[in-house]
Amino acid sequence: MIVLIANEAGSGETRVAATPETVKKMIGVGLEVQVEAGAGGHAFFSDAEFTEAGASVEPASAERRRAADLLLKVGPLGTHDDLGSEIALLKSGAVVIGFLDPFLNLDSVRALAAGSITALPMELIPRITRAQSMDALSSQASIAGYKAVLLAASRLPRYFPLLMTAAGTIRPAKVVIMGAGVAGLQAIATAKRLGALVEVSDIRPAAKEQVESLGGRFIDLPEMETGEGAGGYAREMGEEFLRRQREILTEHVAAAHVIITTAAVPGKPAPKLLSADMVRRMKPGGVIVDLAAERGGNCELTRAGEEVIEAGVTILGPLNVAGTMPRDASALYSRNVLELVKELVDDGTVRIDRENDVVGPTLVTHAGEVVNPTAVALLEKEGR
């Protein structure tokens, strides 16, 4: 079985789906590993390191793509700078693993099914105990939460910590974090380490204990309905709940120097937590880092990939935040991918067991069909 590590050419992606460490382990379970030249360059893994690990390293070519039994990627399938459509290059029966974003790339889902290609999006790994080592959403979100605080600290025109100096006392910055998932929890821990006062909002009551264990103060929201969704993810809430939530948060936002928003619902646009009016109530010099920018943003004024200044408040909408730390992000992501690959490999051959409690829920397309219920429903809705 040939495993090909893709060069994410043309996508702006800096991460790579395998490292020399994971290449050695894939070879150890009987797989032949090929790496497209330069695939690890942006993450500071050289071609020589991959060769030393036992991989075959050659320039990307259509022939090598067509020969691959298993293609490992980071970002969604798209158009390679030199090779063209990545889906068209895959042979029937090939397996592809990566952050494929299937629910927002329905054309790709159709093409994968039409080509009899098996697709396993890493973002659909179920949140069960046995699959924790494969949870790439969590490994990458943790990096994003950490980096978001550093971005805010670098743009804030004041200190984060309390400082008592001969020239007087500097009060600590107030940070409000919206969403206490993996990214939010890492943001809490990082902001506390920098000495800020941290308040946290989340629609899941169960998050309160985690927030307080990290030293944050939990902002109680209206107990109209629980926001707990399947697998511990937040679920989509009604407009009335979101309206009440914004009312309660307004006074906390007005007092904040930094706001970091991390709220996301799998397969849905990001909920709007910060209105333009709430932003205008913030202190001039305030900073908002919207980690949901790729999904439309939690802030009404966020522009994906851009910086917006409104009433003296800087709003950052960074994209692919984990990719700004590509070395460690790749190390973690590649280990997540490796564990999924090991779940698929039996005696050196990739086998798809739809009854497997990890593989089954992760599959989107297989054997010429769309097998994920959400993808099927979206395709039917689009066809009406």
Catalytic residues: 127, 132, 135, 138, 233
User: CB-side exposure of 277: number of CA atoms within 13 Å?
Assistant: 6
Contact between 140 and 118 (Cβ < 8 Å): no
User: Under the phi-then-psi rule, with left for phi > 0, alpha for psi from -120 to 50, and beta for the rest, what region is 3?
Assistant: beta
Helix (H, G, I), strand (E, B) or coil at 312: coil
CA-derived radius of gyration, the chain = 22
Question: What span, in angstroms and rounded, lies between the C-alpha atoms of 182 and 176?
Answer: 16
Q: What is the DSSP letter of 173?
A: P
CA distance 198 to 172: 10
User: How many angstroms separate the most distant Cα atoms in the chain?
Assistant: 72
Angle between helices 373-383 and 106-114 (to 10 degrees): 110
* Sequence-separated (6 or more) residues with CB below 8 Å from residue 76: 98, 99, 100, 101, 105, 108
What whole-number distance in Å separates Cα of residue 318 and Cα of residue 302? 10
| Residue 52 parent element (H or E) | helix 47-52
CA 254 to chain centre: 29
62: how many CB neighbours lie within 10 A of its CB?
Answer: 13
3-state secondary structure string, 13-42? CCCCCCCHHHHHHHHHCCCEEEEECCCCHH
Q: How crowded is residue 271: how many other Cβ atoms within 10 Å of its Cβ?
A: 25
Query: Token pair 């600290």 is at which residue?
Result: 153
In angstroms, rounded to a whole number, what is the distance separating the alpha carbons of residues 226 and 1?
46
